[in-house]
Structure 1
Amino acid sequence: MKLVTGATGMVGANLVLKLLEQNTKIRAIYRNEDSINKTLSFFKYKEKETLFYKIEWVKADLCDIPALESAFEGIQEVYHCAALVSFDPNDERKLRQTNIEGTANMVNLSIAYGINKFCYVSSIAALGETLSPDKTIDEKTNWNPELYHSDYAITKYGAEMEVWRGTQEGLKAIIVNPGIIFGAGFRYEGSNEFFRKIEKDFPFYTKGLTGIIAVEDVVEIMVQLMQNDQYNEKFVLVSENLTYQELLTYIAEQMNKKPPYIYANPLGSKIAWRLDAFIAFITRKKRSFTKALAISSHTTYTYKSTKVKKTLAFTFTPYTTYIPKIVRYHRSNK
């Protein structure tokens, strides 16, 4: 039996579906009933509702060790997809608890229960930075603690350190570092923010680069890496590198909406995140545009996925294939 955390999110739900289609027995962790309903809605969208009822659900929190122990009984492999994603500085404590402490608990229990193999879903945010002229980043690029990083990036990197610590204690592990993950079935998560902004005629764009990938590719690679002899390795997962202008313009074209037309230069972004911080302080509302987002929207790093392509002879799905499908999903769920 395989244990999946984060099965109520986009990556975890797609992973569980993939494994169930291979007749794999799945146990999944959840925190509340509402989150399970999101996964059920996803399975209905995929017309796989009967498979949903084959999932063995266990209520547990990543920081609740006794509850997690019951989830580990009879498990051979672990897919750790759960994480808190936030760029709000006020969420630093929650980020550290969920992403670092939660991962440490998963690693410790995997060692204690003799888990055969462990897969951790990290992020390109946890990769290093480069000073080379071509600004290309891969699995060998070193993390520079002297540079500015968001709390999210720091905690994902810290979580990776917990996984590597586990490998020193005998755990066989795989780490994947996907770019921005796109997928249908979850209207209000992650990359779906791009579609919401375009729907509302969001006018601003930047020329920074980002790496993107289809969720189906992420889970296919995870399953293949867990099924082959690879272990104690990490893999960057990016199908393409696009500027935010290119990405938003393409989405707008598919949605028959006006593309963003106002260039938000670095100075304007600096003013914007400071203004957002002031407004959030006065109104006590959650931050919507932070320093971390402002910086990342103008970075021009290129991410390379050569390693996974060679290891698995894998061919990524182009964004021109999966983004139109997501647009159709949003249209049908207005």
Structure 2
Amino acid sequence: MPLLLEGKKVFITGATGFVGGYILKSILQKGAHVIALNGKRNDKSFLGDDSKLVTWVDIDILDPNSLLEELKEIDYVIHTASIVSFNTTLDELRAVNVNGTANLVNISLQAGIKKFIHISSIAALGVPEYGNFINENSKWTGDKGMSAYAISKYNAEQEVWRGYREGLDIVVLNPSVILGVGNWDRSSLTIFKTIQKGVKYYPSGLFSSVDVRDVTAAVIKAIELPISGERFILNASNIPFKLALETISNGLNVEAPSKKISKTSVNFIYYAEKIFSVFTGKSSQLSKDLIKSLFSRYEYDNKKAQEQIKIPFISLNDTMKWVKESL
């Protein structure tokens, strides 16, 4: 029988972000009392009047003492806060993504939290030793060739699994690129802004994405269902970038890219930008990790989430219909 959230206290990190904001709204609709971290940007405009129903706290997840004080009477923790970037150093990513998660896990153990929901990423699954197929049982094959972001997400997730071994009930969710209605200047939604400006070329890799509403539904299921020590890949589909960019372009009423670009050409642009940056002072928008992701052909399996927590998964086409209606 599902656990009821009504009247429960839920602590959310990253609640002023794209994903965290949707989760916060959904948790409030369930009748829970939400305690949330004020974000660095602290933009609560998306939340509207719901923001007034939240107890906002100014604490640093890198400060264990302040965390302990806030988590003393909390029932559930939903950890969504992290740095998402291909242009950030491993040390910077480790500080928030790994150390912050470790602190939150440690304090949750001390405070007797009922369940800890960790929003990870498909990046934390690494790459398969053979082939292109990835599921929840795939093993991390080492840091070599992995982006600093992926390494930080993997290490953060290891802190959560450590907490599980020490007695903390946890569920890990590994979403792909999260899309939906929101601020195009932040998170993965910046892809909309880029495409709206005009994109002429498409890479040959596969594009994996998930609707933010499915991520939110998975969080609720993870809390309410009697499950622990499980991870779920949240991914609607694995489709060619050409089709994905056409679908997104149609949703944004702009012309879709029609020319294929090779990895060699993109690498040339990357190195040219690096050279010119010495003279212009402007950093390159490309990175080796981003280029690698544009041409990868990994397929992420969503069967476990469909079967065990009953997430039907909204197609990219339907996500873009929703986005189009919001314009």
TM-score grouping bracket, smaller chain normalisation: over 0.9
Write out aligned runs for 1:102-181 (5 A). Answer: 102-133=100-131, 135-145=132-142, 147-181=144-178
Q: Secondary structure at the match of 1:181?
A: strand
Identify the residue that residue 318 of structure 2 maps to in structure 1.
321
Residues 122 and 276 (structure 1 numbering): CA distance in 2 closer, same or farther, change over 3 Å? farther
- 2:79 equivalent to 1:80: yes
Amino acid paired to 1:57: W
- 2:216 equivalent to 1:219: yes
Q: Distance in 1 between matches of 2:177 and 2:305?
A: 17
Q: In the TM superposition, what is the alpha-carbon distance from 1:328 to its structure 2 partner?
A: 3.6
Q: Secondary structure at the match of 1:160?
A: helix
- Counterpart contact for 2:16–2:39, Cα < 8 Å: no
- Counterpart contact for 2:98–2:153, Cα < 8 Å: yes
- Counterpart contact for 2:247–2:316, Cα < 8 Å: no
Q: Secondary structure at the match of 1:53?
A: helix
Identify the residue that residue 200 of structure 1 maps to in structure 2.
197
Q: Distance in 2 between matches of 1:286 and 1:216?
A: 34
Q: Distance in 2 between matches of 1:280 and 1:125?
A: 28
- Counterpart contact for 1:108–1:166, Cα < 8 Å: yes
Q: Distance in 2 between matches of 1:263 and 1:72?
A: 51
Residues 94 and 287 (structure 1 numbering): CA distance in 2 closer, same or farther, change over 3 Å? farther
Which TM-score applies when normalising by structure 1?
A: 0.91
Which TM-score applies when normalising by structure 2?
A: 0.93
Amino acid paired to 1:59: D
Q: Distance in 2 between matches of 1:64 and 1:204?
A: 45
Residues 286 and 111 (structure 1 numbering): CA distance in 2 closer, same or farther, change over 3 Å? farther
Q: In the TM superposition, what is the alpha-carbon distance from 1:146 to its structure 2 partner?
A: 5.6
Q: Distance in 2 between matches of 1:67 and 1:128?
A: 33
Q: Distance in 2 between matches of 1:64 and 1:279?
A: 41
Identify the residue that residue 69 of structure 1 maps to in structure 2.
68
- Counterpart contact for 1:5–1:82, Cα < 8 Å: yes
- 2:244 equivalent to 1:247: yes
Q: In the TM superposition, what is the alpha-carbon distance from 1:87 to its structure 2 partner?
A: 0.8
Supply the RMSD in Å over aligned alpha carbons.
Answer: 1.7
- Counterpart contact for 1:119–1:175, Cα < 8 Å: yes
Work out the percentage of aligned pairs sharing the same amino acid: 30
Q: In the TM superposition, what is the alpha-carbon distance from 1:324 to its structure 2 partner?
A: 2.1
Q: Which of 98, 101, 104 is matched with 2:99 structurally? A: 101
Identify the residue that residue 51 of structure 2 maps to in structure 1.
52
Deviation per CA, 1:103-142, whole angstroms, max 9, x where unpaired?
0000011011111110100001111322444x21101111
- Counterpart contact for 1:277–1:290, Cα < 8 Å: no
Q: In the TM superposition, what is the alpha-carbon distance from 1:281 to its structure 2 partner?
A: 4.7
Q: Secondary structure at the match of 1:120?
A: strand
- 2:33 equivalent to 1:25: yes
Residues 155 and 146 (structure 1 numbering): CA distance in 2 closer, same or farther, change over 3 Å? closer
- Counterpart contact for 1:31–1:60, Cα < 8 Å: no
Q: Which of 221, 227, 230 is matched with 2:227 structurally? A: 230
Q: Secondary structure at the match of 2:187?
A: coil
Identify the residue that residue 184 of structure 1 maps to in structure 2.
181
Q: Distance in 2 between matches of 1:16 and 1:73?
A: 20
Identify the residue that residue 12 of structure 2 maps to in structure 1.
4
- Counterpart contact for 1:104–1:162, Cα < 8 Å: yes
- Counterpart contact for 2:82–2:97, Cα < 8 Å: yes
- Counterpart contact for 1:61–1:67, Cα < 8 Å: yes
Q: Secondary structure at the match of 1:297?
A: helix
Residues 269 and 85 (structure 1 numbering): CA distance in 2 closer, same or farther, change over 3 Å? same
Q: Which runs of 5+ in 2 are unaligned?
A: 1-8
Q: In the TM superposition, what is the alpha-carbon distance from 1:196 to its structure 2 partner?
A: 1.1
- 2:279 equivalent to 1:302: no
Q: Secondary structure at the match of 1:187?
A: coil
Q: In the TM superposition, what is the alpha-carbon distance from 1:172 to its structure 2 partner?
A: 0.9
Deviation per CA, 1:183-232, whole angstroms, max 9, x where unpaired?
21222122322211221112121120121110010011111111111101
Q: Distance in 2 between matches of 1:311 and 1:281?
A: 52
Q: Distance in 2 between matches of 1:93 and 1:81?
A: 19
Q: Distance in 1 between matches of 2:96 and 2:279?
A: 28
Q: How many residues align?
A: 319
Amino acid paired to 2:154: Y
Q: In the TM superposition, what is the alpha-carbon distance from 1:283 to its structure 2 partner?
A: 4.1
Q: Distance in 2 between matches of 1:320 and 1:29?
A: 33
- Counterpart contact for 1:139–1:235, Cα < 8 Å: yes
Amino acid paired to 1:172: D
Q: Distance in 2 between matches of 1:185 and 1:193?
A: 10
Q: In the TM superposition, what is the alpha-carbon distance from 1:310 to its structure 2 partner?
A: 1.1
